Amino acid sequence: MEAKQTITKSYEDYDNVLFDKTQALIGIIIIIGLIIFGTYLNSLKVSLPMHLFAGVSMGYILSRGRFGFAGGVKRLVVRGEGTLTKALLAMVLVTLIVTFGLQWLAAQNGAVPSFSALEGQTVIPGTQNVVFANIGTILGGILFGVGMMFSGGCASGTLTDMGEGEGRAWLTIVFFVIGSLPGEWARAVLDKQRIGKIGVQAYLPDTFGYFGALAISILGLAIIYYLTLKYEKRRRDKGTSAEPFGDWESFEKAIPAENTTISMKEKLYHKLFIERWTFMRTGLLLAFVWIFILVSQEKAWGVTSAFSHLGAYVANLIGIEFTNPKLVEIAEGAASNGLLMDGGTIRNFGLIIGAVIAFLLAGRFKWNASFTGKDSLYFIIGGLLMGFGARLAKGCNAGALYSAISTFSISGWIFLVAMTIGGLIGLKFFAGKACTLPKLK
């Protein structure tokens, strides 16, 4: 009852902004523009509109739920409650089950994992994420974890924040891209060293069969779920946990049915475009888009490979030449394909625009650059660490963690542990030093 009273009173403060016709109109115009742009992309390559659709959908979903991978660690530690962590686990569970069926069927029809496929052989969808995990995966994951705490979000989270008007994200992304190419170079060099050859490339169904791989993966999720519950209980017992919805803005909450000051039409608009989605709903919707990408592209979702492509494209424009074979390969690909022909770049662009649309339709879009010079330094370092770390580890939370685990690659679990360690390091040793690093209770 107390919560409802708070919602009713504070909601009135948002009435003047709630139905911002100008922002809503701009959002509709952007949607129309996306349809036109998608038609143009289709004339270039039929798969490109699918990337655009997936990106826009993800950006919209992530913004409506204020959802991000970095929060799986940060929110749990800072607030002492694991609603986001548990939603992430549910999301992975859904994609694991669907991937299990798709990959099993492909294998029955003669497809083989990407890493063992010969020319002309059909590849099992998603096995492109079954990569060799070595010291680079561990170090890259740790660096990425620290960086995402400094910057206030991971790769997909940074793109979403850009669309929401967060100035820190625009600063972060520049240095994220800058850090990506050195990360590619470091991984290429490391893989040739003796220490870089120590590691594992394991596709769980090869060892345990598809049912065994699914069972082991679900067991891993169950262990994390159990640990999350234990940690939540410990924080509650200490009195240092927060309410799951305690950080919601008043206007993000549902309008009480007994509120008679707001019309039914306005309530409907609020329900459709403004009311914040729960983490669980957001995670499940995101899982469906992930499945869409896997089915339509026969590859799983990734974000940061496109950053290397973008970095190489810019390097080509300003006349920078590379000698490292890996960087030469990336630069040549960027030169021949440009940006519009790169599906990952289009998807990342769509992710930003999806977030823009979500905030415009909600009447809440505004530019936010309220941070200090010291904060900026943390964003810059965070971007560099994430860019370098992601490419050193061959992916970020989207590709190296979520997609890898969902496609039964052992590398995903290794990256998860490393990224978590990095996130905890960032929180413990730098808490309170930047606006993205709150003091711990």
**Chain mean pLDDT for the chain:** 94
pLDDT tens digits for 334-362? 998 899 999 999 999 999 999 999 999 99
**Amino acid 4: pLDDT:** 33
pLDDT tens digits for 32-48? 999 999 999 999 999 99
Q: Three-class SS string for 130-189? A: CCCECHHHHHHHHHHHHHHHHHCCCHHHHHHHHHCCEHHHHHHHHHHHHHHHHHHHHHHH
CB-CB neighbours of 355 under 10 Å: 28
Identify each DSSP E strand in 234-308 by its residue range: none
**Amino acid 100: pLDDT:** 98
* Amino acid (1-letter code) at residue 243: E
- Percent of the chain residues topping a pLDDT of 70: 96
pLDDT at 10 over 70: no
Q: Containing H/E element for 309?
A: helix 305-317
**Alpha carbon distance 283, 276 (integer Å):** 13
What are the φ and ψ backbone dihedral angles of 112, each rounded to 5 degrees? -130, 160
**Amino acid 214: pLDDT:** 99
**Amino acid 337: pLDDT:** 86
| pTM (two decimals) | 0.93
Using alpha carbons, list the distances in angstroms from residue 376 to 123, 300, 367.
Answer: 44, 33, 16
DSSP character at residue 110 = T
pLDDT at 71 over 90: yes
Computed over its alpha carbons, how large is the radius of gyration of the chain?
Answer: 22
Q: Is 128 helix (H, G, I), strand (E, B) or coil?
A: helix
Under 8 Å between Cβ of 123 and 190: no
Q: Where are the domains of the chain?
A: 7-114+127-430
**Alpha carbon distance 269, 288 (integer Å):** 24
**Residue range 54-64: mean pLDDT, rounded:** 98
pLDDT tens digits for 101-138? 999 999 999 999 999 999 999 999 999 999 999 999 99
Could you tell me the sign of the dihedral formed by the alpha carbons of 399, 402, 404, 407, in that order?
negative
- Percent of the chain residues topping a pLDDT of 90: 88
**Amino acid 441: pLDDT:** 77
**Alpha carbon distance 400, 397 (integer Å):** 6
3-state helix, strand, coil in the chain (%, to 5): 70, 0, 25
**Amino acid 230: pLDDT:** 98
Q: Which residue has the higher pLDDT, 5 or 277?
A: 277
pLDDT tens digits for 380-407? 999 999 999 999 999 999 999 999 999 9
**Amino acid 15: pLDDT:** 46
**Residue range 361-372: mean pLDDT, rounded:** 94
**Amino acid 261: pLDDT:** 82
Using alpha carbons, list the distances in angstroms from residue 111 to 107, 231, 288.
Answer: 5, 42, 24
**Amino acid 258: pLDDT:** 81
pLDDT at 368 over 70: yes
**Amino acid 2: pLDDT:** 33
